[in-house]
Amino acid sequence: MSIPRHIAIVMDGNGRWAQRRHLPRKLGHREGQKAVRATVEHCRQRGVAALTLFAFSSENWQRPGDEVHALMQLFVKALDSEVDELHRNGVRLTFIGDLDRFDAELSARMRAAMARTAGNDALRLNVAVNYGGRWDIAQAARGIAGAAMRGEIALDAIDELTLAPWLCLADQVPIDLFIRTGGELRVSNFLLWQLAYAELYFTDTLWPDFDAAALDAAIDAFAQRERRYGHTSAQLRATG
C-alpha cells in the first residue's frame, strides 16, 4: 500500500467542537492539542517522513484578543511540555512562518526547540505559525530578488526550479496528501506553491475528534488515488 511521505493538515473545527459542548473556544484548542499529539505519534508509527500542521495563520491575528492570547499561551505551554517527548522520539521540529511577529520570548523558544531537535530524523514535524501561502511566495521572491541584485543569479535564470529553494519546506520531500478537517472545502492560504500536486482530502470530522482511525481513513483514500502529474492513465500504465 502506498503511504504518503509528507502529509499537510489544516486542523479546523476546534471552536465548533467546544461550542457544541457549551464550552469556551479555547478549550477546543486545548483538546486539539491532544489530537496533534496522537497524529504525530501515528504518523511516526506508519512511517510518514514529514507532517506539516497549520497552527496559526497570518490571518488568525484578527480573531478576538482573548482567543489569540489563549492560543499563544497554548503554544508556550506546548513548547514546554511536548518538546522533551518529541526529542526522545526522534522528531525534528521546525516552525515555518514569520516568527518575528511573535513576542521575543516565544520566538526565542521556538528557535531553541528547532535547534535542540535539529539532529533528529524519525519524523519531520513542521508547525506553520503566522504563516500564509502568499507570504511564503512573497518572501521567496524577495530572497531571489536580493540574490539577483547581488549578481548571484541572472534575471533570466529565475524560473520554477530556481525559485523553489527559497520557499518554506524546500529541504523536505514534496507534500503527497493535504487533509482538512472540519468540513470546509478550501485551502485557506496554506502552502499554495507546495500543494501543486498534493492529493486533497476533506473530512467533516472536527479536529479534536481526529484520531488514528481517521488518519488511517485518509491514508487509505490516498492509496486509491492515481497520481498522473499531467500524464494520461495509459502513459502511466505503459511506464509502470
Give the active site residues.
Answer: 12, 60
Residue 227: phi, psi to the nearest 5? -95, 115
74 binds ligand FPP (CB under 6 A): yes
**Location of C-alpha cell 488518519:** 215
* Residues in 1-20 at the binding interface with ligand FPP, rule: CB under 6 A: 11-16
Q: 173 near 5, Cβ under 8 Å?
A: yes
**Assigned C-alpha cell, 170:** 524546500
Instruction: Kindly indicate which of the ranges 74-82, 99-107, 170-178, 190-198 contains the residues binding ligand FPP, using the contact rule CB under 6 A.
Output: 74-82
Stretch of residues binding ligand FPP (CB under 6 A), selected from 32-40, 88-96, 106-114, 231-239: 32-40
Q: Report if residue 128 touches ligand FPP, rule: CB under 6 A.
A: no
Q: Which is nearer to ligand FPP, 6 or 180 (CB)?
A: 180
Sheet strand arrangement including 177-180: 91-96, 123-131, 50-57, 6-10, 177-180, 199-202
Give residue number: closest CB to ligand FPP: 15
| Contact of 164 with 87, CB cutoff 8 Å | no
Torsion of CA 133, 100, 162, 231, to 10 degrees: -20
- The count of residues interacting with ligand FPP (CB under 6 A) is 19
Contact between 68 and ligand FPP by CB under 6 A: the answer reads no
**Contact footprint for ligand FPP (CB under 6 A):** 11-16, 29, 32-33, 36, 53, 55, 60, 74-75, 78, 127, 182, 207
